Homo-oligomer: A and B are copies of this chain.
Amino acid sequence: MTDPQPDWNALTARADDLLRQLFPICRSITGGGLRATLDLLRKTSDFSLTEVPSGAVCYDWIVPDEWNVRNAYVADSTGRRVIDFKVNNVHLVNYSIPFEGTLTFDELAPHLYTLPNLPNAIPYRTTYYNRVWGFCLTHAQFQKLDKKEKYHVVVDTTLAPGSLTYGEARLPGKSGQEYLISTYVCHPSLANDNLSGVVLWTLLLAEMRKRASTGSALHHAYRFVIAPETIGALAYIARNEAAVKGLSGGFVATTVAGPGRFGYKSTWRGNSVIDRAVRLTFRELNLEYVEYPFDVNGSDERQYSTPGLRVPVGTICKDKYYEYPYYHTSLDNLDFISAENLVEMLKLYLLAIEKLEQNKIYRSLNPIGEPMLGKRGLYPQTGGAIKQKAASAAIHAERGYAVEAGNILYGNELDAIRWVLFYADGQMPLIEVAEKTGLPMKQLHEVAEKLVTGGLLEEVG
C-alpha cells in the first residue's frame, strides 16, 4: 500500500456532508431507512448489497420481519401531539408493532421510557424480538404529562416478511492474509453511535481503494462489511463462514467522532497483530489513549470472536460507546460530534492498517556475518566516529569539511538497516522489529524494501 497524502480538507468536507445527509434517516435492523442509507453511501464508494429474507436462519437466530414506519405519535385529547416520531425518530421504540388506541395515563405509562438521570435526553430503546410498542421521551416531557388526560396513540408501522440488507466489498491483496473492516448500521438519528462509524467506514473504503489503484497493489486483502448490528453480522457470517474463519483479524469501526478521549478496545486475544498495530500507531504518534480490555459486551466483535471463529477484532474509537453520558440518547447528535474528529480517526485507522501492510517477514540472503554496508554506500566512509559522544552534528554543520561523519549522516537510518538485517531470520514479522527497537515501522519497512532491492533480503511472508 503506498502512502499518498490524502486531501484531508476535502475528506473532512465529504464527511460533514455525509453526516448531514444521513443523520435524519430513521434506520433499523431492516427496512427502507437502512436501504436508503446504504444507497447514499454507495455514491461515495461502491459496494455490493445482499438481501437476506425474513425467516432466514442464522445459527441460533432468525431474521425478523421487516419493519417500516409511516408515522407514530401520542396526542392528548385536544389532538396536540405530545410525543411525535416526526419531531425525532428516537421517540419511537425501534421495531414497535402497529397499534392505535386511546389510553389513560396509567395505561400508557408502562409503554414510556425516560431517563430521570438525564432529564433532557430521549433514550434510545429497541424491541426487535419482543413484539410490543413503546415511546421514548425526555423525563422533562414525561413530568409535564397530565395524569388525568386520555391519550390517543398511533403507531403506524408495518412488520411483515421482507428482508435485511447488508453491504460488502473486497479489496484483493498479495499476501494471502485477509483482514476485516466492519461497521454496523441500524441506529436511527444518533450520531457518534453509530453514524460516525458508518461514514468513517465508507471513507476508509474509498481511501483504501484509491491507494490500491494508484500505488502498488495492497499487501493484504480487506473485507469491508456494513450490516445491522448482531443479526446483520450473523447473517453475513452465515453466508461467508469459511471466509470469516480465514480472517487474520480486523476492526469494527464505531463511535469515532466524539469530543472525548481516544480509546482502543482490544481484541479477545489481547496481543494479536491488530492490537500491536494499534498500540504502535498510538506510540509513534505519541498520542494518549485509553485501552479497554476485550469485553463480551460491545459490538460485532462479539460475533467474530466466538469460539468457532476467534477472529481478533478491535475497535479504535473517540468517545467509546458506554463511556460517554449521551450514549444511546437523542443528545448524541450532530452537535456532539464533528467531521474533524471523524477524519482524525480515519487517519488512525489508515495508519494502523499501514502497519498491517508493512508487517512483512524478511530473510537475510547473507545470513552469516554482517553484510559489508560500506561498499553499498550505506556506511560512513571514515570509521571510528559511530556512537562517539565527543563527535557532534553541530560541528559538522558549522565547518565545511570532514570533521565527523558516521552517526550524523546515517545515524538513525544505519541503526534501522542493522536491526532489520539482524532480525531477518525468516520468522520475525517487521512489527516485532518496530516494537523491540522503537524505530518507526515506516522507516524499517522502507529500509527493508531497499535491502530487498539491493539483494540483501528476501521477503518470505
Which residues between 101 and 130 of chain A lie within 8 Å of chain B, taking CB atoms?
A: 109-118, 121, 123-130
Q: 1/0 per residue A208-238: CB within 8 Å of B?
A: 0000000000000000000000100110011
The reply to whether B110 and A402 contact each other, CB–CB distance below 8 Å, is yes
The reply to whether B364 and A306 contact each other, CB–CB distance below 8 Å, is yes
The reply to whether B385 and A123 contact each other, CB–CB distance below 8 Å, is yes
- In the complex, A182 has a CB within 8 A of chain B: no
The reply to whether A307 and B383 contact each other, CB–CB distance below 8 Å, is no
- In the complex, A86 has a CB within 8 A of chain B: no
The reply to whether A128 and B383 contact each other, CB–CB distance below 8 Å, is yes
Count of interface residues, chain A, beta-carbon cutoff 8 Å: 89
- In the complex, A51 has a CB within 8 A of chain B: no
The reply to whether A125 and B307 contact each other, CB–CB distance below 8 Å, is no
The contact of A390 among B121, B367, B382, by CB within 8 Å, is B121
Tell me which residues across on chain B come within 8 A of A387, comparing CB atoms: 297, 322
- In the complex, A392 has a CB within 8 A of chain B: yes
- In the complex, A391 has a CB within 8 A of chain B: yes
The reply to whether B390 and A126 contact each other, CB–CB distance below 8 Å, is no
Tell me which residues across on chain B come within 8 A of A369, comparing CB atoms: 58-61, 233-234, 237-238, 303, 306, 308-309
Segment touching B, from A38-46, A72-80, A281-289, A324-332: A324-332
- In the complex, A386 has a CB within 8 A of chain B: yes
The reply to whether B391 and A123 contact each other, CB–CB distance below 8 Å, is yes
Q: 1/0 per residue A332-357: CB within 8 Å of B?
A: 00000000000000000000000000
- Determine the distance from Cα of A421 to Cα of B329 in the docked complex, in whole angstroms: 30
Tell me which residues across on chain B come within 8 A of A395, comparing CB atoms: 116-117
- Check A391/B115 contact, CB under 8 A, given A366-B59, A367-B307, A369-B306: yes
The reply to whether A381 and B127 contact each other, CB–CB distance below 8 Å, is yes
- Check A390/B118 contact, CB under 8 A, given A297-B418, A367-B306, A384-B123: yes
Tell me which residues across on chain B come within 8 A of A88, comparing CB atoms: none
- In the complex, A146 has a CB within 8 A of chain B: no
- In the complex, A302 has a CB within 8 A of chain B: yes
- In the complex, A375 has a CB within 8 A of chain B: yes
The reply to whether A382 and B134 contact each other, CB–CB distance below 8 Å, is yes
Chain B nearest Cβ from A401, distance in angstroms: 4
Which of A61, A121, A134, A368: most chain B Cβ within 10 A?
A: A368
- Check A130/B390 contact, CB under 8 A, given A296-B422, A366-B60: no
The reply to whether A371 and B402 contact each other, CB–CB distance below 8 Å, is no
Chain B nearest Cβ from A439, distance in angstroms: 11
Residue of B nearest to A118 (CB): B390
Instruction: List 10 A-B pairs, Cβ < 8 Å.
Output: A58-B369, A112-B401, A113-B402, A123-B388, A125-B384, A238-B369, A306-B370, A307-B367, A325-B390, A327-B390
